[in-house]
Amino acid sequence: MGKIIIFLGPPGAGKGTQAKFLEKDYGFIQISTGDILREAVKKGTELGKLAKKYMDEGKLVPDDVIVGIIEEKLEELKDKNIILDGFPRTIPQAEALDEMLKKKNKEVDAVILFDISDEEVIRRLSGRRIDPKTGNVYHIEFNPPPEGLEVIQREDDKEEVIRKRLEVYHNQTEPLIEYYKKQNKLLKVDTSKPVEEVYNQIKNMLKL
């Protein structure tokens, strides 16, 4: 099995951007829980059917089902380097993941914490604007839309929604920081720096 890296951090911290760099340069594969859940549902695997039942009822998919689906995916990608993004979100999920990997004589190699202030997240996300015709994304501060272009703000990008998402992140996911610190696996990257600089920090940390 290749390396297993976890990306931890709030929405808007730049995890997706950095994952793309690692995919392109080092052949990492980013696994986002939402994507593999949808894939399992589409393929109609046993676990996929089970997950669909919960999703159709508007319930959260239980940890053991998600871990099972991740296990199937890891089997499929045995020799690849993996980035887990959006999982684990809670301590029970982290424990279940450790248990599952232990059975394969494997463990999480590193956990990268994208360190960013709430205010910076709000600035990044609430400034996003979308051109509804092309789907192009702009930012009122960093990449303003051309004059006269009608753009919209997505519901997800409204400040009150972002604050709620941050609250969920702090409540659920922050305890993971302690959990992985105890395992000596936590590496912290300062994401207020320019994108290339963040990428260089990550490469150094992972000794790539």
Coil/strand/helix, residue 146: coil
Catalytic residue chosen out of the listed positions 52, 73, 80, 89: 89
What's the pLDDT score for residue 20? Answer: 93
The predicted pLDDT at position 146 comes to 93
Q: What is the pLDDT of residue 174?
A: 84
163 assigned to a ligand binding site: no
Assess whether 15 carries a catalytic annotation. Answer: yes
What pLDDT tens digit does each residue of the chain (208 aa) get?
Answer: 689 999 999 888 989 899 999 999 999 999 988 788 888 889 998 999 998 898 888 888 888 899 999 998 888 888 899 999 888 988 999 999 999 999 989 999 999 999 999 999 999 999 999 999 999 999 999 899 999 999 999 988 999 999 998 998 898 888 999 999 999 999 999 998 899 999 999 999 998 8
Q: Which member of 20, 154, 158, 163 is catalytic?
A: 154
9 in a labelled binding site:
no
Per the annotation, does 129 bind a ligand? no
- CATH at residue 86: 3.40.50.300
CB under 8 A, 24+ apart: contacts of 197-201: 198/14, 198/18, 199/18, 199/21
Given the residues 165, 185, 188, 203, select the one marked as catalytic: 165
- Upper half-sphere CA count for residue 166 (Cβ side, 13 Å): 19
Residue 30 marked as a ligand binder: no
Domain total of the chain: 1
Query: What is residue 144's predicted lDDT score, i.e. its pLDDT?
Result: 94
**Domain that residue 73 falls in:** 4-206
128 is catalytic: yes
Neighbours of 156 (CB within 10 A): 11
